[in-house]
Structure 1
Amino acid sequence: MSGLGALLSYPNILDVATYGVSSLLIYSGVVGAYIDPLGWVRGFGLPTATAEQAVLFPCATGRNLGAGCFVLAMTFLRERKLLGIFLLCWGFGAGIADSKVLYDHPQGQGVGKHMLSFTICMTLSALLISSPQ
């Protein structure tokens, strides 16, 4: 296989996708927990949130930080099947829970954005689970 062909191989594309997922999770964890929790909770889908209401939001983004570190480690170790199982569980746990929070909140917005993330997690998890090691 040529150099370009090897780079564009199916497992390498999955690795790039999971490096992207880990980067986004780590970024959201750092910004949402440490830099701008109020801004992040508003971007999450609660535009009318106040600082008092956002006080627990670092818990949600802190979970992203931990998940992002796990995804990064498993991608680096090429543990694709394990990573796929994790993203399957993560997608259901975080994706559905986040969507429910926004759906139940009177001023909640962005349920579609969270459902898109859920769909991406489910698709990526299926591809990872079925990929060659």
Structure 2
Amino acid sequence: MPHPTDIKLHQASRKLEVSFDSGETFVFTCEFLRVYSQSAEVTGHAPGQEVLQVGKHAVNITAITPVGHYAVKLHFDDGHDTGLYTWERLYDLGVHQTDYWTDYLRRLMRAGHAHPDLNALKMQHT
């Protein structure tokens, strides 16, 4: 499993850049990381209890706290800071970012919520 070699927070653009020792670099929006947090608030306590995160388009990361040699805790400006982002989780989010983001937008659309990226998704399917 690749390990991060560099983590850079770009608060002005609300993005987190993570480089891995595999040579890959992924750029995540803070919103993406917030809606895919591994916390119980997002995933629930059991399968089927997931909570769709809505209205996180402008969320930002205010701080990053290392957790041992295996993860980071991201502190979001909406007060959320309970999810850990292991190296494995960050790598998985990076590799599958497009699929996960499309799935999130589809879930928002099915639930009747608006999002700036929904217009692009709708255009792909017309």
TM-score by length of 2: 0.33
Q: Write 1 or 2 for the structure with the bigger share of strand.
A: 2
Q: Write 1 or 2 for the structure with the bigger share of helix.
A: 1
Between the two structures, name the one with larger relative contact order (CA 8 Å, sep ≥ 6).
1
TM-score by length of 1: 0.32
